[in-house]
Structure 1
Amino acid sequence: MQQDAMQTTAAAPEIQRVRHELKLRDLEVVRVEPLSPGFVAITFGGEALADFVSMSFDDHVKFFFDDGNGDGDRAPARRDYTPRRFSREARELVVEFALHGEGAASDWARRARIGQRMQVGGPRGSFIIPKEAAWHLLVGDATALPAISRRLEELPAGSRAFVLVLADDADRRAFAGAAAADIRWFDRPEALLAALERLALPTGHGFAWGGGEASVMARVRKLLADKGIPRQATRVSAYWKEGVAEHHENLE
């Protein structure tokens, strides 16, 4: 057990779970902005966003992708995505789509055009992790980049963040935000996991978050436990699973 990652006796910041009214919204594409060879930011707009709520970088909304055959025999493909930015005043929601490989979501995002309609559900709830934690550990692969980017932008000045990301060179990005962030990039899962195992975290009540491929995140979850980080101070999600078309699972 790693002593420097242990929590002190001071009271831990309280984690809040908030439920939202589940709504399905009909939105329109208003902007399409390529970010890198592997990502595109798509802005959706509409009055249906007047009561949209996203209280955490860990939120996810569900998109419904028609297969385009028009026969109505197949149920739409469903995928979960992080609300990257939201403006109630402008009635605009920004979501970043990964363009890797082929699939209903990535294929749609490559062809997205202004004026297209999309049905979006949620968020169903928010898992609000206190920003005043002594330190923040963020671990993920390329699919977690939108959530990590949002979290770093939201953390106040004086925050300490440790960021370990598995991503190809083309997907790596500069993060904005006022937090003092130690950013480390990796091109192999084993290298990321070895670095996480060696990572010395500060004392005090922190929070560890992870998002990415299911088998890698299961190992991340175990390493966090081995470090002595309390289960209530971690949240790890499987955003996708190798060989499975539709997968999202909380491993907390």
Structure 2
Amino acid sequence: MPKPSPRLAEVLKTTRISPSIQRIHLGGEELNAFPTVTPGAYIKLMFDLNGRPLTSAGEKGNFAMRTYTVNSVNPDKPEITVDMVLHATDGLTGPAAAWAVNAQIGDKIMIAGPGTSKGLSESYDWVLLAGDLTALPSIRNHLASLPKDAKGYAVISIEHNDDIVSLETPEAVDVIWEIKSSLTETISSLTWHEGQPAVWIACEFSDMRNIRRWLKDEKSLPHEQLYISSYWKKGRSEDQHKIDKRQDSEAYAKALAES
């Protein structure tokens, strides 16, 4: 199936919903055909190499793309929202975070996608969802789609108390907000429920590798019950992280085949 062509989107609204998150509402005529998406779906915001948003599919030259989870879709408007974490390293942000902070109503930007990611296993006794703020939209949407009798955990690492948001969740799923603490340590300290879990985790690259190792070595979790991914890596751009992620995935697949 061919990839959908990039679309021109317009900023309808922008709101700082927490100290670390800017919510951008995108609309425009070219989103009329935006498809229904599943939890974990994402779009790519398109920038030129100077960090300026692309505003035309006909613009030539190299460009950069930054990936963000689709937070919500309203096909009737049409409107999609993305929650953009305002990462900074030594006071400097990347092009997407800088754009998110300064975006104004009426601003235009090209977007690509949507793309999809692996969801929860279809067969499970309980769930474990975990991640940092970059994964919060996916975790929120997975929680909202769970059956009412689901049980388990949702562990979310945040930077500030004010980053805590309201989540629609089954009564027996415990939501754990961890402020500036180790996601690996929190997950490994959980009381493991009986039965087979469906595990969905997305976070920083080093955290992902530590958690993946623990799930394999300590819990012997079957691969089909697990989705785990790094959404970013400290000190690396998205393009650099993409290379690291591919190399890690190839090495991990080889290790699994040899084990």
Structure-2-length-normalised TM-score? 0.79
How far the C-alpha of 1:20 sits from its partner, in A, is 7.4
The alignment-based identity, stated in percent, is 28
Q: What are the residue-to-residue correspondences of 1:203-214 with 2, within 5 Å?
A: 203-214=194-205
After TM superposition, which residue ranges in structure 1, 4 or more long, deviate above 6 angstroms? none
1:135 aligns with one of 126, 132, 157: 126
How far the C-alpha of 1:211 sits from its partner, in A, is 0.9
Q: Which amino acid aligns with 1:124?
A: G
Q: Which amino acid aligns with 1:33?
A: T
- 2:76 — aligned with what? 89
Cα distance in 2 for residues equivalent to 1:128 and 1:173: 24
Please say if residues 40 and 116 of structure 2, whose CA atoms lie closer than 8 Å, have aligned partners that are also in contact.
Answer: no
How far the C-alpha of 1:117 sits from its partner, in A, is 0.7
- 1:100 — aligned with what? 87
What SS is found at the alignment partner of 1:148? Answer: helix
Deviations 1:209-246 (A, max 9, x none): 11111011111111222212211111111111111111
The structure-2 alpha-carbon separation of the partners of 1:114 and 1:161, relative to structure 1 and needing over 3 Å to count, comes to farther
Cα distance in 1 for residues equivalent to 2:117 and 2:208: 20
How far the C-alpha of 1:69 sits from its partner, in A, is 10
Which stretch of structure 1 is more off in the superposition, 58-67 or 131-140? Answer: 131-140
Q: Which amino acid aligns with 1:117?
A: K
The structure-2 alpha-carbon separation of the partners of 1:234 and 1:54, relative to structure 1 and needing over 3 Å to count, comes to farther
- 2:100 — aligned with what? 109
Cα distance in 2 for residues equivalent to 1:161 and 1:20: 37
CA RMSD of aligned residues (A): 2.6
- 1:27 — aligned with what? 9
Cα distance in 2 for residues equivalent to 1:63 and 1:69: 8
- 1:56 — aligned with what? 38
Please say if residues 154 and 177 of structure 1, whose CA atoms lie closer than 8 Å, have aligned partners that are also in contact.
Answer: no
Q: What are the residue-to-residue correspondences of 1:4-83 with 2, within 5 Å?
A: 21-66=3-48, 67-68=51-52, 75-83=62-70
1:234 aligns to 2:226 (yes or no): yes
The structure-2 alpha-carbon separation of the partners of 1:171 and 1:105, relative to structure 1 and needing over 3 Å to count, comes to farther
**RCO comparison, higher one (Cα < 8 Å, 6+):** 1
The structure-2 alpha-carbon separation of the partners of 1:132 and 1:52, relative to structure 1 and needing over 3 Å to count, comes to farther
What SS is found at the alignment partner of 1:228? Answer: coil
What SS is found at the alignment partner of 1:217? Answer: helix
The structure-2 alpha-carbon separation of the partners of 1:128 and 1:69, relative to structure 1 and needing over 3 Å to count, comes to closer
Structure-1-length-normalised TM-score? 0.81
What SS is found at the alignment partner of 1:221? Answer: helix
What SS is found at the alignment partner of 1:55? Answer: coil
Structure 1 portions without partners, runs of 5+: 1-18
1:165 aligns to 2:147 (yes or no): no
Structure 2 portions without partners, runs of 5+: 253-259
The structure-2 alpha-carbon separation of the partners of 1:74 and 1:150, relative to structure 1 and needing over 3 Å to count, comes to same
What SS is found at the alignment partner of 1:68? Answer: coil
Q: As a proportion of its length, which structure holds more helix?
A: 2
Deviations 1:50-89 (A, max 9, x none): 332353222221111232399x897333111000000111
- 2:142 — aligned with what? 151
